[in-house]
Structure 1
Amino acid sequence: MSPVVGAQWTQRCGEDSREGLAPRRGTITVVYSHRIRYHEVDQQGYLFNSRYLEIADIAMTEFFRSLGWQYDTLIAEGTDPSVVKSEIAFVSPCRFDDVIDADTVPTRVGTSSFHLRIILRRDEVIVATVENTYVNVDLASARSRPLPTDVAEALRRVARVETT
């Protein structure tokens, strides 16, 4: 069954070990599907590089929605994740009208930060991997603060651990 394109997600419960991730029982991989639109491509006809981060940002939001939190609820309950580090590994170009699936998994959860790996695929073939580190921020003080316990526990429940 193919995922719905747009700001929707599907859940896949998997026991696979793709991309060097060792799954934990009950792991949910959220898939956000995005169709590449004309205004997102560059003169060569490829998805412009900054758009990968936009897709990753939407995938993060949809990932939290799959855990039961609307983004405004997260903020109201004390979670305001800010990206402090982002790395993109480009494997294959995406073009206008391609549909990209974004699998989002936490790979590390700390006291005030967490790491998400967003694996972008076209027809089950990896086109890019985005590695984002987020820090929970207190907007009033502009400083990091601990993740709320229920958020940290939810992230740990679905986290996949790095393997070497």
Structure 2
Amino acid sequence: MIHQFRLRVYYEDTDLAGIVYYANYLKFIERARSEFVRELGIDQTVLKEQDGLVFAVRRVEADYLSPAKFDDQLDVETAVLSVSGARLVLKQDVKRDETLLFSASVTLIALKEDGRAARLPANIRLVMAE
């Protein structure tokens, strides 16, 4: 399954040349991940309150392929690459129409309130594996 998230590039997302500032791609894919998880029925607030768990980015490997510009309409595609007991790896691509602009592999882990790594709950592993 590939999750789609659409966004528009605002002036605040760009640099002086009107090109999306590189760090903002990380914001774009973060928003898409939040919506992806929400659409899977995972309430991150409840997960924190009831289980004391939060998701944290462990690793990002990113390729900047072509610039996005002010007022572009972009699509962020998110797909699960792998799920293990304690780790979730996602592929996230940012496209303008069919042109791939940015591609990232993002590794997420679950953390307890004290900052230690924890196993992903079985229900989350199951829904992500589907």
Q: Give runs of aligned pairs for residues 31-70 of structure 1, distance below 5 A.
A: 31-70=4-43
Alpha-carbon distance in 1 for matches of 2:82, 2:49: 23
- SS of 1:81's partner is strand
Q: Give runs of aligned pairs for residues 96-115 of structure 1, distance below 5 A.
A: 96-115=70-89
The residue aligned with 1:12 is: none
8 Å contact from structure 2 (residues 42, 124) kept in 1 = no
Unmatched tracts of structure 2, length 5 or more? none
8 Å contact from structure 1 (residues 53, 130) kept in 2 = no
- Structure 1 runs (4+) deviating above 3 angstroms are 76-79
The residue aligned with 2:90 is: 116
RMSD: 1.2
- SS of 1:147's partner is coil
Asked if 1:150 corresponds to 2:123, the answer is yes
8 Å contact from structure 2 (residues 7, 73) kept in 1 = yes
Q: Identity of counterpart residues, as a percentage?
A: 24
8 Å contact from structure 1 (residues 77, 148) kept in 2 = no
